[in-house]
Amino acid sequence: MSQTDKKKFPITEARYFATSNGLEKESLQIGSVVKNRSKGHRAPFKILRGYFIDLFLQNDLLDQFKEQYWPRGKEKGGDTECRSCLKIKSEFDKEMGGALLSFSSRKPSTKRIGPPPIEEALVTPVSTESPPVEDDPVKRTLIEDIDEIEHRDIGATTKSVLSNARIGQGPFRADVFSRWGNCCAVTGSTTHCAIKASHILPWRDSTDEERLDPHNGLPLIASLDSLFDTGLISFDSSGQMLVSPKLAESERKIFGLNKQALLKRPSEQMAKYLAGHRQKHGFGE
């Protein structure tokens, strides 16, 4: 790869990498959608990059792609371009009436018979009752936090580490997973692409040291992570799950919340973070 090619997220290499990891159908679909529907839209290549970045993110392959084919993605500027491309992709989806492609969240395997399912969304505009991604206050908060990191007077390496920690990736995610046997801390699931490594003490309330502290993170499957993040569940100092009275009994059954607990007792450091979580969300001691 030439020096010039390394400056931008390489599309040709992205297509090859996707195909070699069992995502050939998704790769072809991405090219087709952007080619047929990007007339009149600026930066079609950034839209393409955004789709590939999103595909690799959802299948837990982005770091591997950066390591193998895009060295700049591991250095200064690469992470910023990733976020820029994802934002342009989101804006493109919004203008076209909603997300045009939805990918499987299951990590691919080159040994399987066929690729994971992929669906092309209807061209019909999304109902106003379902706001686009950019209108999601959680997503806006994420973008605001990443922008705040980018504008801080700190080294490029520190920025990258903090940015990855904010989205539950990089060394923070690896350390959190390692402390819990590389599985969900409650269910024991090892489907990593369906598990989030989120902060116990919210990002906005944490110091940089706390943001990178693996004791301040829990690997939880997406449904439990969302319940925990919004304060509908918490855990006591022994690891027993606590369920908010705000969650109806019928909903508890849907989520399978029945005397669940963490797979092991929280460390002393984690217990302090959990105490803060319980206090924030009104769980009695």
pLDDT tens for 89-104 read: 777 776 665 555 656 5
CB neighbours of residue 53 within 10 Å: 23
Q: First-to-last CA distance in the chain?
A: 59
* pLDDT for the residue numbered 142: 64
How do residues 37-83 score in pLDDT, each as one tens digit?
555 554 577 788 888 888 888 888 888 888 888 877 766 667 778 88
Residues 6+ apart with CB under 8 A from 130: none
How do residues 218-271 score in pLDDT, each as one tens digit?
999 999 999 999 999 999 999 999 999 999 999 999 999 988 999 999 999 999
Mean pLDDT of 272-285: 89
How do residues 109-167 score in pLDDT, each as one tens digit?
444 334 444 444 433 343 334 334 344 444 446 667 777 777 788 877 777 777 777 76
CB 266 within 8 A of CB 235: yes
212 residue type, one letter: L
CB 133 within 8 A of CB 98: no
68 residue type, one letter: Q
* pLDDT for the residue numbered 228: 94
* pLDDT for the residue numbered 217: 92
Q: How far apart are CA 14 and CA 66, in angstroms?
A: 10
Q: In which element (H, E) is residue 23 found?
A: none
How do residues 175-221 score in pLDDT, each as one tens digit?
899 999 999 999 999 998 889 888 899 888 888 888 889 999 999 99
Q: pTM score, two decimals?
A: 0.52
